[in-house]
Amino acid sequence: MGQLLSFVPEVPVFIIDDDPSVREALALLLKIEGYAAQCFGDGASFFEAVQSVSPGCVILDLHLPGETGFDILRKLSAQRFAAPILVISGAADVATAVDAMKHGALDFLEKPFSSDIIVERVRAAVKVWREALGGEIDGLANFPGRDLLTCREREVLSQVARGVSNKEAGRGLGISPRTVEVHRARIMGKLGAKNTADLIRIVLSESSARRRLSAS
């Protein structure tokens, strides 16, 4: 568990809120806590960003210009988005909270909330993401494309999926960051991934589909 917690500061946390003061306050708070916070004022900029970066947690306001928070939740659910989503709203009631959870939100917070509460919820969400992602990678005995990967490539894939840097992955595996980068490129090529975020989506969506079939 200690090793797992040591990775937390590397996790990107995406904040989607149309209020600049809320975005800036949350970003500052999370950066102090060691997270790589990124802010977005609308759904369009958020969806553009997740093409290249896979966050470990998303903080989503329901009231946004253009696409609403619920619109974004529906899209993410359809895409089998891996990261936990914390929904925040200044106009909340039980029905809204229930609806948000039905559409895939992990948790619901009513504004205003304390710094301690949001940090606690982000930590819990990231922990859920880490454990789920670690289980997916570690248990991928039948992962589509697995046979195309060498043992070392599978080890690198496990590190990539956990969000560690090339330097950290290299240190853990006893290889150079440049070698990690080469393995990462080969993995993406073999599995047809356009970028790291796409790679993680491929891994998680295929594994999740298999679990659903086995449970049915």
Tens digit of each residue's pLDDT (9 = 90 or more) over 43-87? 999 999 888 778 889 999 999 988 999 999 999 988 878 788 999
Q: State the average pLDDT for the chain.
A: 80
Which DSSP string corresponds to 179-202? HHHHHHHHHHHHHT-SSHHHHHHH
pTM over 0.75: no
Candidates 197, 193, 191; CA nearest to 47 is: 197
Helix, strand or coil, per DSSP, at residue 18: coil
CA distances from 93 to 19, 110, 182 (A): 20, 9, 50
Q: Residue 214's pLDDT is what?
A: 45
* Domain ranges for the chain: 2-131, 139-215
The CATH architecture assigned to 139-215 reads Orthogonal Bundle (1.10)
26 band by pLDDT with thresholds 50, 70 and 90: very high
pLDDT band at 7 (very low <50, low <70, confident <90, very high): very low
Query: What is the per-residue pLDDT across 136-164, written as a single tens digit (0 to 9) for each?
Result: 555 554 556 777 888 788 888 877 776 67
CB 110 within 8 A of CB 89: yes
User: What is the CATH code for 2-131?
Assistant: 3.40.50.2300
**Is 2's pLDDT higher than 70?**
no
